[in-house]
């Protein structure tokens, strides 16, 4: 990058359980959300089934990823970008935001803070880089002119328009319900000692910070050998530990990304 640092050439994704590398994927995109579906498909190709549960950080919480997991029957413990803010003890949602407005499902309209109905005026379509089309509904207030709140929180010209992605809001609601359950709290706690800990051991304990080859095929081979060695080393230390404590390790069916 002309400053002595090298630019990452590959985005490595790993999925772990009990700190064993169950699968890995190498992508040539810097964007994590776009890697999730091909990564789960790679897991399916390897094991002929999807994991029962997928746990991932907020970077993966997109509409297409939630939808894919729901359709594949994977329990999604995947955060979204506002999740941590919402969990703060003194969090108060912005009372003027679209999420805070009353929504009438039967009539498909919102009610603004001054009690006006905001009627549906259309749909916005956006296409992600993977080609997924996301639809957001648009609602418009009838008349904002002369409203005492006009200018205090809403300064644009004309009447206020809001855009709401209903499917995404519903996926987030389900994710929030899961993530705040007893099981969800446990998964959230474990995630930082699953793939993150494995990356830490790889990079800092074992010094594996750079691939030794160029080209996707060769880099895949490079990391596959490393992953086999890593898992063997982990297995030996688990067996030794289990023999010492008389305990054993079990397969929980959880895939931490």
The two three-digit tokens of residue 105, written as one number:
């499902």
Residues at the contact surface with ligand SF4, assessed by CB under 6 A: 112-114, 116, 141, 144, 147, 149-150, 154, 160
Nearer to ligand SF4, 149 or 243 (CB): 149
β-partners of residue 127 are: 133
Question: Using only C-alpha atoms, what is the Rg of the chain?
Answer: 23
Nearest approach, Cβ of 135 to ligand SF4 (angstroms)?
23
Nearest approach, Cβ of 138 to ligand SF4 (angstroms)?
13
- Residue appearing with tokens 């039967």: 106
Nearest approach, Cβ of 189 to ligand SF4 (angstroms)?
41
The two three-digit tokens of residue 6, written as one number:
């090298």
Contacts of 45 (CB under 8 A, 6+ apart): none
Of 34, 10, 26, 11, nearest to 131 (Cα)?
Answer: 34
Nearer to ligand SF4, 150 or 188 (CB): 150
CA 201 to chain centre: 23
Nearer to ligand SF4, 101 or 197 (CB): 101
Nearer to ligand SF4, 69 or 144 (CB): 144
Nearest approach, Cβ of 154 to ligand SF4 (angstroms)?
5
Residue positions counted in the chain? 257
């Amino acid at each position: 990058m002309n400053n002595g640092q090298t630019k990452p050439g590959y985005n490595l994704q790993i999925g772990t359980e009990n700190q064993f590398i169950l699968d890995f994927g190498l992508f040539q995109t810097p964007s994590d959300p776009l890697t999730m579906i091909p990564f789960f498909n790679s897991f399916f190709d390897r094991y002929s089934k999807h994991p029962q549960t997928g746990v991932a950080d907020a970077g993966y919480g997109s509409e297409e990823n939630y939808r894919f997991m729901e359709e594949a029957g994977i329990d999604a413990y995947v955060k979204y970008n506002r999740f941590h803010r919402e969990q703060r003890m003194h969090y108060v949602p912005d009372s003027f935001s679209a999420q805070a407005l009353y929504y009438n499902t039967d009539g498909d309209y919102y009610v603004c803070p001054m009690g006006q109905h905001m009627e549906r005026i259309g749909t916005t379509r956006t296409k992600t880089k993977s080609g997924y089309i996301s639809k957001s509904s648009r609602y418009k207030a009838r008349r904002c002119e002369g409203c005492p709140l006009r200018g205090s929180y809403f300064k644009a010209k004309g009447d206020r328009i809001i855009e709401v992605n209903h499917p995404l809001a519903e996926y987030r609601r389900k994710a929030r319900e899961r993530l705040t359950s007893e099981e969800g709290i446990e998964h959230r706690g474990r995630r930082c000692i699953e793939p993150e800990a494995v990356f830490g051991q790889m990079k800092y304990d074992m010094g594996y910070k750079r691939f030794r080859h160029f080209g996707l095929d060769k880099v895949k081979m490079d990391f596959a050998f490393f992953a086999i060695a890593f898992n063997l080393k982990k297995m030996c230390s688990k067996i030794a530990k289990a023999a010492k404590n008389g305990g054993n390790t079990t397969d929980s069916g959880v895939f931490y990304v």
